[in-house]
Structure 1
Amino acid sequence: MIRLFHVSDVHFGAEDRAALSWFDRVVAEEQPDAIIMTGDLTMQARSHEFAAAAKWLEGLGRPVTVEVGNHDLPYFNPWSRFVTPYKRYGRLERMIERPLDIKGLSIIPLKTTARFQFRLNWSKGHVSLRSLQKSLALVEATPADDLKFIVCHHPLVEAGTRTSSSTRGGRRALEALADAGADAVLTGHVHDPFDIAHQVGGRTIRMIGAGTLSERVRLHPPSFNEIRVEGRNFVTVARVLE
């Protein structure tokens, strides 16, 4: 059995220290095969927040892959946001979209953040045609028998959570990914866990959202997802801090 820990929205700068300590203990005791981080590692994309996030992820001692969230783009420095948005990542940069070597499982990144959008709230999701085509090419290049998990920050369609994603191009992306053979889309952003099956063109694709390990909780306490994979079957368990 493959065991993945899917964690999101730690928001260093507003992190929940008790929740992080709990997660650290669970990782040390259970040694998952890999950790998938679906964005918003930081609160305000500051250098010291990225440094703290990198130290934390490196200290877990497990293979880690990271997708970028909207809070990981500079908000208060227009030059940095538009010209050098990833400059502050430091040593964390090598973990972004890092491939995971897990037999029978392919992890495929999809970018849902944008430096600029034609709407007031830039925190919401956006899947450009270019980003979608890049992910579809990666899906096509994976072994046919692999489970294919798409990893991005924003839910592609709404999941009934209190916080919305309002992802532009999200439904188009979900349909295209399902048609290409993707099995699940792992996301964050809304700070509450969910696992919803969508029927798209005769195929089932799962939308799986992780909660948060920050102080910015919504309906659920701090949590992360454990995904257990056996062959082509997988189940999601929301692990909640009590």
Structure 2
Amino acid sequence: MARIAHLSDIHFGAHDRKIVDAATAWLEERRPDLIVISGDFTQRATVDQFRQAAAWLNRLRSAGLKTLVIPGNHDVPLYDVVRRFARPLTRYKRYISRDLCPFYEDEAVAILGLNTARSLTIKDGRINHDQMDMLRDRFAQVPPDKTRILVTHHPLFAMPIGKGGELSEAVGRHDDAVKAACEAGVHLALAGHFHRTYAQAAQKMVAHSGGALVIQAGTATSTRLRNAEPQSFNWLHVRRNNEMELQVIVWDGAAFRRASHVEYRRDGEEWASRDVADAPRVGEMALRRGLG
């Protein structure tokens, strides 16, 4: 079994130091096998913000914790136009990681991160055809009983982002990206960007999308909250043969606590879910999902 902490949208420069320290302490105490961070380390991609993000990452790594990280659109300079188009991720590569498409594998899982941040799209994301080929090639070498996990900052699918049922824009080259994920046999698709916790079977979001379970993380530490959803991150226990548990760990104003706990089991291309009976609820926020 792989224990994975999935954090997103840290936003150094628009963060709460108390919450950062609490998240760090939580991770150091539980010691996940891997910490996945799906982008937006900074608010405006400044040197100072990247230095803060790097110091935080170095603390986790110095504690012996493994990380898999990718950039988000906020890690590309917005107002520095020359740097934005000529060297969009130079600072990210200097302070965070030079690998924009990292890969991790252990006995239970294989995980590929893909960079979706682009200079031209401002806030939206794209996947290019070279990345799609990488996705197919990497997972083609993975044993069939391992859980294959794709990590992007921008979700592959249009996501519900408001109480009125509004949908976001899908990632650029959406149809081709979904086809590649389907052909690669992706089981879990982790993303962030919208500061909203969500889990849904891909086939219930778009036709011909294979058997992936889409899992969104909220913002872990940013003060930029949406829909009054508090800061949170995901805690996954992933087993071989596509069985997993998902807990949402939520900031309650004083500490991070478990807000929901759901078990998932995949049968063919169908995901079934079951709430764990002893899971507490924190405030009004619980895992949003649409599985039967």
TM norm structure 1: 0.90
Measured in 2, the distance between the counterparts of 1:78 and 1:202 equals 37
Which whole-Å deviations, capped at 9, do the CAs of 1:191-223 have from their partners, x for residues lacking one?
Answer: 011111122648421111111020011121000
Asked whether the equivalents of residues 156 and 171 of structure 1 are also in contact (C-alpha less than 8 Å), the reply is no
The 5 A counterparts of 1:98-109 are 98-109=102-113
Consecutive unaligned residues in structure 2, runs of 5 or more: 253-292
Alignment counterpart, residue 238 of structure 1, candidates 248, 255, 269: 248
Tell me the equivalent position of 1:222: 231
Identity %: 30
Q: Deviations over 1:105-159 (max 9, x none)?
A: 1111223221224xxxx20122222322222222223333321100110011122
Q: CA deviation at 1:79?
A: 2.1
CA distance in 2, matches of 1:82, 1:164: 25
Q: 1:146 corresponds to which residue? A: 146
Aligned length: 238
Contact persistence 2:104–2:112 (CA under 8 A): no
Displacement after TM superposition at 1:27 (Å): 0.7
| SS of the residue 1:135 aligns to | helix
The Cα of 1:58 is off from its aligned counterpart by 1.6
Which structure 1 residue ranges, 5 or more long, are not aligned?
none
Structure with more of its chain in helix, by fraction: 1
2:244 is aligned with what amino acid?
Answer: F
Larger Rg: 2
Q: One-letter code of the match for 1:218?
A: R
Cα deviation, 1:19-63, whole Å, max 9, x if unaligned, reads: 212211211211111100000000011111111111101212310
The 1:202/1:98 distance shift into structure 2, 3 A limit, reads: closer
Question: Are residues 59 and 184 of structure 1, via their aligned partners in 2, closer, same or farther at CA, if it must alter by over 3 Å?
Answer: same
Q: Pick closer, same or farther for the CA change 1:135–1:18 going to 2, 3 Å.
A: same
Partner of 2:89: 86
CA–CA separation in structure 1 for the residues paired with 2:137 and 2:79: 34
Give secondary structure in 1 for the equivalent of 2:15. coil
Q: AA paired with 1:9? A: D
Bigger mean CA deviation after superposition, 173-182 or 223-232: 173-182
C-alpha distance in 1 between matches for 2:72 and 2:45:
10
